[in-house]
Structure 1
Amino acid sequence: MNITFESPNQPEIIALIAELDAYLLELYPPESVYALDIDTLAQPHIRFAVARNSEGAAAGCGAIVLTPEYAEVKRMFVHPASRGSGAAKRLLAKLEEAAREAGCPVMVLETGPDQPEALGLYERLGFARRGPYGGYADDPLSVFMEKPLK
Protein backbone atom coordinates (compact mmCIF):
# COMPACT_ATOMS: atom_id res chain seq x y z
CA MET A 1 0.00 0.00 0.00
CA ASN A 2 1.44 3.34 -1.07
CA ILE A 3 0.12 6.59 0.47
CA THR A 4 0.72 9.90 -1.33
CA PHE A 5 -0.83 13.34 -1.50
CA GLU A 6 -2.67 13.73 -4.80
CA SER A 7 -5.37 15.78 -6.48
CA PRO A 8 -8.86 14.61 -5.56
CA ASN A 9 -10.03 15.58 -9.05
CA GLN A 10 -9.33 12.23 -10.71
CA PRO A 11 -12.01 9.89 -12.09
CA GLU A 12 -11.18 6.98 -9.78
CA ILE A 13 -11.04 9.28 -6.73
CA ILE A 14 -14.36 10.87 -7.66
CA ALA A 15 -15.82 7.34 -7.90
CA LEU A 16 -14.32 6.40 -4.51
CA ILE A 17 -15.82 9.51 -2.88
CA ALA A 18 -19.18 8.77 -4.52
CA GLU A 19 -19.04 5.33 -2.90
CA LEU A 20 -18.25 6.97 0.46
CA ASP A 21 -21.21 9.35 0.05
CA ALA A 22 -23.57 6.48 -0.79
CA TYR A 23 -22.35 4.57 2.29
CA LEU A 24 -22.83 7.60 4.58
CA LEU A 25 -26.31 8.29 3.22
CA GLU A 26 -27.30 4.68 4.02
CA LEU A 27 -26.40 5.37 7.66
CA TYR A 28 -27.41 8.99 8.22
CA PRO A 29 -29.86 11.60 6.89
CA PRO A 30 -28.33 14.15 4.50
CA GLU A 31 -28.42 16.94 7.10
CA SER A 32 -26.08 14.88 9.32
CA VAL A 33 -23.50 14.19 6.59
CA TYR A 34 -20.86 16.93 6.65
CA ALA A 35 -18.99 16.15 3.45
CA LEU A 36 -16.60 18.29 1.42
CA ASP A 37 -16.98 18.24 -2.36
CA ILE A 38 -14.16 17.71 -4.87
CA ASP A 39 -13.65 21.44 -5.54
CA THR A 40 -13.33 22.16 -1.82
CA LEU A 41 -10.94 19.24 -1.35
CA ALA A 42 -8.66 20.78 -4.01
CA GLN A 43 -8.18 24.03 -2.03
CA PRO A 44 -4.58 24.90 -1.01
CA HIS A 45 -5.22 24.59 2.75
CA ILE A 46 -6.38 20.98 2.32
CA ARG A 47 -4.06 18.02 1.78
CA PHE A 48 -5.69 15.00 0.16
CA ALA A 49 -4.08 11.58 0.62
CA VAL A 50 -4.71 8.50 -1.50
CA ALA A 51 -3.88 4.90 -0.62
CA ARG A 52 -3.02 2.83 -3.67
CA ASN A 53 -2.72 -0.94 -3.72
CA SER A 54 0.13 -2.86 -5.36
CA GLU A 55 -1.65 -2.61 -8.73
CA GLY A 56 -1.86 1.19 -8.38
CA ALA A 57 -5.62 1.32 -7.89
CA ALA A 58 -7.06 3.77 -5.36
CA ALA A 59 -7.97 1.74 -2.28
CA GLY A 60 -8.74 4.59 0.13
CA CYS A 61 -8.49 8.29 0.80
CA GLY A 62 -8.51 10.95 3.48
CA ALA A 63 -8.05 14.68 3.75
CA ILE A 64 -6.73 17.09 6.35
CA VAL A 65 -8.07 20.65 6.51
CA LEU A 66 -5.29 22.81 7.94
CA THR A 67 -6.19 25.83 10.08
CA PRO A 68 -4.21 27.69 12.76
CA GLU A 69 -6.52 26.26 15.46
CA TYR A 70 -6.69 22.62 14.36
CA ALA A 71 -6.31 20.11 11.55
CA GLU A 72 -9.62 18.47 10.67
CA VAL A 73 -9.74 14.95 9.24
CA LYS A 74 -12.28 14.66 6.42
CA ARG A 75 -13.31 12.13 3.77
CA MET A 76 -11.64 9.11 5.40
CA PHE A 77 -12.64 6.01 3.46
CA VAL A 78 -11.16 2.65 2.60
CA HIS A 79 -12.83 0.59 -0.10
CA PRO A 80 -14.42 -2.53 1.44
CA ALA A 81 -12.10 -4.81 -0.59
CA SER A 82 -9.07 -3.16 1.07
CA ARG A 83 -10.30 -3.06 4.66
CA GLY A 84 -8.07 -4.87 7.11
CA SER A 85 -4.96 -4.01 5.07
CA GLY A 86 -3.78 -1.21 7.37
CA ALA A 87 -4.69 1.44 4.78
CA ALA A 88 -6.76 3.55 7.19
CA LYS A 89 -4.02 3.58 9.82
CA ARG A 90 -1.42 4.57 7.23
CA LEU A 91 -3.69 7.25 5.75
CA LEU A 92 -4.18 8.78 9.20
CA ALA A 93 -0.44 8.69 9.86
CA LYS A 94 0.16 10.59 6.60
CA LEU A 95 -2.50 13.16 7.52
CA GLU A 96 -1.02 13.55 11.01
CA GLU A 97 2.42 14.12 9.49
CA ALA A 98 0.98 16.96 7.36
CA ALA A 99 -0.79 18.46 10.39
CA ARG A 100 2.43 18.39 12.42
CA GLU A 101 4.42 19.95 9.57
CA ALA A 102 1.81 22.75 9.39
CA GLY A 103 2.19 23.38 13.14
CA CYS A 104 -1.37 22.45 14.03
CA PRO A 105 -1.78 21.88 17.78
CA VAL A 106 -4.52 19.26 17.53
CA MET A 107 -6.27 16.97 15.04
CA VAL A 108 -10.07 16.88 15.20
CA LEU A 109 -12.75 14.94 13.39
CA GLU A 110 -16.47 14.36 13.19
CA THR A 111 -17.81 10.90 12.50
CA GLY A 112 -21.01 9.03 13.24
CA PRO A 113 -22.08 6.68 16.01
CA ASP A 114 -23.06 3.97 13.50
CA GLN A 115 -19.45 3.46 12.39
CA PRO A 116 -17.98 1.36 15.24
CA GLU A 117 -14.95 0.26 13.21
CA ALA A 118 -13.97 3.87 12.53
CA LEU A 119 -14.56 4.87 16.16
CA GLY A 120 -12.40 1.96 17.34
CA LEU A 121 -9.60 2.86 14.95
CA TYR A 122 -9.59 6.51 16.00
CA GLU A 123 -9.53 5.54 19.69
CA ARG A 124 -6.65 3.08 19.13
CA LEU A 125 -4.70 5.85 17.38
CA GLY A 126 -5.04 8.27 20.30
CA PHE A 127 -8.22 10.20 19.54
CA ALA A 128 -10.58 10.94 22.43
CA ARG A 129 -14.16 12.14 22.38
CA ARG A 130 -14.84 15.84 22.79
CA GLY A 131 -17.65 18.32 22.16
CA PRO A 132 -18.48 20.08 18.90
CA TYR A 133 -15.88 22.40 17.35
CA GLY A 134 -15.80 24.93 14.54
CA GLY A 135 -19.23 25.44 13.02
CA TYR A 136 -20.66 22.05 14.04
CA ALA A 137 -23.81 21.88 16.15
CA ASP A 138 -24.32 19.29 18.86
CA ASP A 139 -25.94 16.47 16.86
CA PRO A 140 -26.85 13.03 18.27
CA LEU A 141 -25.65 11.58 14.95
CA SER A 142 -22.18 13.11 15.37
CA VAL A 143 -19.23 11.92 17.41
CA PHE A 144 -16.49 14.54 17.79
CA MET A 145 -12.93 13.47 18.56
CA GLU A 146 -9.51 15.05 18.98
CA LYS A 147 -5.86 14.10 19.25
CA PRO A 148 -3.33 16.57 20.66
CA LEU A 149 -0.22 16.98 18.51
CA LYS A 150 1.94 18.99 20.93
Structure 2
Amino acid sequence: MIKIIRTNSEHPDFIKLVKELDAYLKVMDGDEHDFYNQFNNIDVLKNVVVIYADEVAVGCGAIKKFDETSVELKRMFVATEKRGLGIAQKILTELEVWAKELGFKSCILETGKRQVEAVGFYHKCDYKIISNYGQYKKMENSICFEKTF
Protein backbone atom coordinates (compact mmCIF):
# COMPACT_ATOMS: atom_id res chain seq x y z
CA MET A 1 0.00 0.00 0.00
CA ILE A 2 1.44 3.36 -1.12
CA LYS A 3 0.57 6.58 0.70
CA ILE A 4 1.85 10.09 -0.04
CA ILE A 5 1.70 12.93 2.44
CA ARG A 6 2.39 16.64 2.08
CA THR A 7 4.25 18.14 5.00
CA ASN A 8 7.24 20.36 5.77
CA SER A 9 10.89 19.78 6.61
CA GLU A 10 10.17 19.31 10.32
CA HIS A 11 8.54 15.92 9.68
CA PRO A 12 10.62 13.19 11.40
CA ASP A 13 10.35 10.74 8.48
CA PHE A 14 11.61 13.40 6.08
CA ILE A 15 14.55 14.15 8.38
CA LYS A 16 15.38 10.43 8.60
CA LEU A 17 15.27 10.00 4.80
CA VAL A 18 17.43 13.10 4.26
CA LYS A 19 20.08 11.60 6.54
CA GLU A 20 20.10 8.51 4.29
CA LEU A 21 20.30 10.75 1.22
CA ASP A 22 23.21 12.73 2.66
CA ALA A 23 25.14 9.53 3.45
CA TYR A 24 24.59 8.36 -0.14
CA LEU A 25 25.64 11.73 -1.60
CA LYS A 26 28.75 11.91 0.57
CA VAL A 27 30.01 8.82 -1.23
CA MET A 28 28.84 9.96 -4.69
CA ASP A 29 30.10 13.55 -4.45
CA GLY A 30 33.47 12.70 -2.94
CA ASP A 31 35.62 15.80 -2.40
CA GLU A 32 32.83 18.09 -3.61
CA HIS A 33 30.31 16.96 -0.97
CA ASP A 34 30.93 19.87 1.42
CA PHE A 35 30.33 22.38 -1.39
CA TYR A 36 27.00 20.84 -2.40
CA ASN A 37 25.91 20.12 1.15
CA GLN A 38 25.89 23.80 2.11
CA PHE A 39 22.94 24.36 -0.26
CA ASN A 40 20.85 21.51 1.15
CA ASN A 41 19.67 23.02 4.42
CA ILE A 42 16.23 21.56 5.09
CA ASP A 43 14.99 23.96 7.76
CA VAL A 44 13.56 26.29 5.11
CA LEU A 45 11.47 23.76 3.18
CA LYS A 46 7.74 24.38 3.48
CA ASN A 47 6.64 22.00 0.70
CA VAL A 48 7.79 18.45 1.38
CA VAL A 49 6.42 15.12 0.19
CA VAL A 50 7.04 11.82 1.99
CA ILE A 51 5.93 8.54 0.43
CA TYR A 52 5.19 5.39 2.39
CA ALA A 53 5.11 1.76 1.32
CA ASP A 54 3.30 -0.41 3.84
CA GLU A 55 3.52 2.33 6.49
CA VAL A 56 7.31 2.71 6.10
CA ALA A 57 8.76 5.98 4.77
CA VAL A 58 10.68 5.04 1.61
CA GLY A 59 11.07 8.29 -0.33
CA CYS A 60 10.88 12.05 -0.22
CA GLY A 61 11.26 15.26 -2.16
CA ALA A 62 10.64 18.97 -1.75
CA ILE A 63 10.12 22.14 -3.70
CA LYS A 64 11.08 25.67 -2.78
CA LYS A 65 10.45 28.95 -4.53
CA PHE A 66 13.27 29.86 -6.89
CA ASP A 67 11.75 32.95 -8.53
CA GLU A 68 8.30 34.29 -9.33
CA THR A 69 7.51 31.54 -11.84
CA SER A 70 9.77 28.63 -10.84
CA VAL A 71 10.32 26.25 -7.96
CA GLU A 72 13.50 24.31 -7.34
CA LEU A 73 13.28 20.59 -6.70
CA LYS A 74 15.26 19.59 -3.62
CA ARG A 75 16.07 16.48 -1.60
CA MET A 76 14.65 13.84 -3.97
CA PHE A 77 15.43 10.41 -2.57
CA VAL A 78 14.15 6.84 -2.68
CA ALA A 79 15.56 4.19 -0.35
CA THR A 80 17.96 1.94 -2.25
CA GLU A 81 15.89 -1.20 -1.76
CA LYS A 82 12.78 0.50 -3.17
CA ARG A 83 14.30 1.91 -6.37
CA GLY A 84 12.92 0.85 -9.73
CA LEU A 85 9.35 0.53 -8.44
CA GLY A 86 7.98 3.86 -9.69
CA ILE A 87 8.22 5.59 -6.31
CA ALA A 88 10.38 8.47 -7.56
CA GLN A 89 7.84 9.12 -10.32
CA LYS A 90 5.03 9.34 -7.74
CA ILE A 91 7.04 11.80 -5.63
CA LEU A 92 7.94 13.95 -8.62
CA THR A 93 4.37 14.01 -9.93
CA GLU A 94 3.02 15.05 -6.52
CA LEU A 95 5.59 17.86 -6.28
CA GLU A 96 4.79 19.08 -9.80
CA VAL A 97 1.05 19.10 -9.03
CA TRP A 98 1.72 21.02 -5.82
CA ALA A 99 3.88 23.56 -7.68
CA LYS A 100 1.09 24.12 -10.20
CA GLU A 101 -1.45 24.53 -7.38
CA LEU A 102 0.81 27.24 -5.94
CA GLY A 103 0.82 29.04 -9.31
CA PHE A 104 4.31 28.19 -10.53
CA LYS A 105 4.99 27.54 -14.22
CA SER A 106 8.18 25.48 -14.10
CA CYS A 107 10.46 23.37 -11.98
CA ILE A 108 14.26 23.50 -12.03
CA LEU A 109 16.79 21.25 -10.37
CA GLU A 110 20.44 20.37 -10.09
CA THR A 111 21.87 16.90 -9.83
CA GLY A 112 25.33 15.47 -10.16
CA LYS A 113 26.56 13.96 -13.40
CA ARG A 114 27.79 10.99 -11.33
CA GLN A 115 24.17 10.25 -10.33
CA VAL A 116 23.55 8.47 -13.62
CA GLU A 117 20.21 7.03 -12.47
CA ALA A 118 18.94 10.49 -11.50
CA VAL A 119 20.04 12.03 -14.81
CA GLY A 120 18.25 9.28 -16.74
CA PHE A 121 15.17 9.64 -14.55
CA TYR A 122 14.82 13.39 -15.19
CA HIS A 123 15.29 12.89 -18.94
CA LYS A 124 12.54 10.23 -18.85
CA CYS A 125 10.26 12.67 -16.99
CA ASP A 126 10.57 15.31 -19.75
CA TYR A 127 13.06 17.56 -17.98
CA LYS A 128 15.37 19.42 -20.35
CA ILE A 129 19.00 20.29 -19.68
CA ILE A 130 19.55 24.00 -19.03
CA SER A 131 22.61 26.09 -18.29
CA ASN A 132 23.85 25.63 -14.76
CA TYR A 133 22.32 28.30 -12.55
CA GLY A 134 23.27 30.09 -9.35
CA GLN A 135 25.88 28.40 -7.21
CA TYR A 136 26.20 25.55 -9.73
CA LYS A 137 27.42 27.73 -12.65
CA LYS A 138 31.06 26.72 -12.32
CA MET A 139 30.59 23.19 -11.01
CA GLU A 140 31.67 20.65 -13.63
CA ASN A 141 29.89 17.78 -11.87
CA SER A 142 26.55 19.63 -11.86
CA ILE A 143 23.86 19.22 -14.47
CA CYS A 144 20.73 21.37 -14.29
CA PHE A 145 17.28 20.64 -15.67
CA GLU A 146 13.97 22.42 -16.17
CA LYS A 147 10.44 21.34 -16.89
CA THR A 148 7.75 23.81 -17.89
CA PHE A 149 4.19 22.93 -16.95
Change (3 A) 1:119 1:69: same
Share of identical aligned residues, percent?
Answer: 35
TM-score normalised by length of structure 1? 0.88
Count of residues in Structure 1 that have an aligned counterpart in Structure 2: 144
1:76 paired residue number: 76
Does the CA contact (< 8 Å) of 2:105 and 2:148 recur in 1? yes
Distance 1:32 1:135 in 2: 9
1:61 paired residue number: 60
Does the CA contact (< 8 Å) of 2:9 and 2:44 recur in 1? no
| CA-CA distance at 1:35 after TM superposition | 4.1
Distance 1:91 1:113 in 2: 21
RMSD of the alignment, in Å? Answer: 1.6
| CA-CA distance at 1:12 after TM superposition | 3.2
Report the 3-state secondary structure (helix = DSSP H, G, I; strand = E; otherwise coil) of the residue aligned with 2:43.
helix
Change (3 A) 1:141 1:33: farther
Unaligned runs of 5+ in 1: none
Residues 1:10 and 2:11 are matched in the alignment: yes
2:101 paired residue number: 101
2:41 to 34, 37, 50: 37
Amino acid of the structure 1 residue aligned with 2:94? K
Q: Deviation per CA, 1:33-55, whole angstroms, max 9, x where unpaired?
A: 454323122xxxx310001012x
TM-score normalised by length of structure 2? 0.88
Change (3 A) 1:123 1:81: same
| CA-CA distance at 1:112 after TM superposition | 0.3
Return the structure number with greater strand share: 2
Report the 3-state secondary structure (helix = DSSP H, G, I; strand = E; otherwise coil) of the residue aligned with 1:97.
helix
